A and B are shown apart, each in its own frame.
Chain A
């Protein structure tokens, strides 16, 4: 590995740890993360009700007569946004390019996450035997992988010769 690539990894982990500690801090969790997750829950409920699922919302809990799910950290897309944030900020680029990447990436991650919540709810309600595998492994990796692929696309566009990425 070349020095800039080592530097990228070091910065990536430092930013990740700092961002994690920030969102894990109770005041931030209670006043930012939980309301944000409740917003995602309401949005997902609206989509599910358009599909005739008869869903009700209570805070971060989605429930219908067939199935109920509590949307927690790990299911709200924040983990993918942290990976995106750490990788984009650690990568050498202009502030403008970083801001655009973070904004677009966050929107993309959250749109995909809404699809995840809706499909997981439908799986839980109609095909419960598939729920665990899709909840634990499939969707979680798809969301993180999307964030990483978005970062690769973004970094290929803004890359400077200093960190000409290989791979």
Chain B
């Protein structure tokens, strides 16, 4: 358990601020990666593969399909609404007793990699929730009640609480306790 004093507050705020800076800086690049990864995932399960996710302005990604009427409007999804739990992860890893220890940094990197996979899931759920329920008669014709409920709940659950629960759980699993052995050099110096 981290020490619960003013240092905890300072470390939390510093971790959050650092995470916010990194997130704001990398979001345009990360959105492209995420759109591509989600598109590949969706197309893997499509017969024939028709989905195209195109990065638009203002952190939105346009959902396009080659079988859509070219005259119809394309829906768009805000990818950054699905990825800001990264800030929670950085703030939580910052409250470790030794935030820059090797073990804590390694834990943070592994947790971040897994978080990226969950972002792909979040983006897929967002696109699928549009397909199953937000395209009027097209949705009704192509998807049944099970798919509508499954993807609708998956998307809502992810956005409302799951994205935070994932960040919290990854920290819980990969956090360091600050009790790792001291570096060898220090031990020798004592002799």
Contact = CB atoms under 8 A, between A and B. Distances in A.
A5 B12 contact: no
B77 interface: no
Contacts of A87: 168
B23 A12 contact: no
A151 to B, nearest CB: 9
Interface of A: 1, 5, 8-9, 12-13, 16-17, 20, 24, 73-74, 79, 82-83, 86-87, 133, 136-138, 140-142, 144-145, 148-149, 152-153, 155-156, 159, 165-167
B159 interface: yes
B176 interface: yes
B30 interface: no
Contacts of A152: 1-2, 4
A83 B165 contact: yes
Given A152-B1, A166-B177, 10 more contacts: A13-B165, A20-B160, A79-B160, A136-B80, A141-B16, A145-B92, A155-B1, A159-B1, A165-B1, A166-B179
Interface residues of B, number: 39
Contacts of B160: 20, 73-74, 79, 82
Contacts of A13: 165, 169
A22 B178 CA distance: 39
B169 A141 contact: no
A141 B84 contact: yes
B173 A9 contact: yes
Contacts, number: 89
At the interface, is chain A mostly helix, strand, loop or mixed? helix
B123 to A, nearest CB: 16
A83 B177 contact: no
B119 interface: no
B172 interface: yes
A24 B2 contact: no
Contact of A149 (B12, B80, B179): B12
A83 B23 contact: no
A12 B85 CA distance: 18
Contacts of B178: 167
A163 B169 CA distance: 16
A156 B4 CA distance: 9
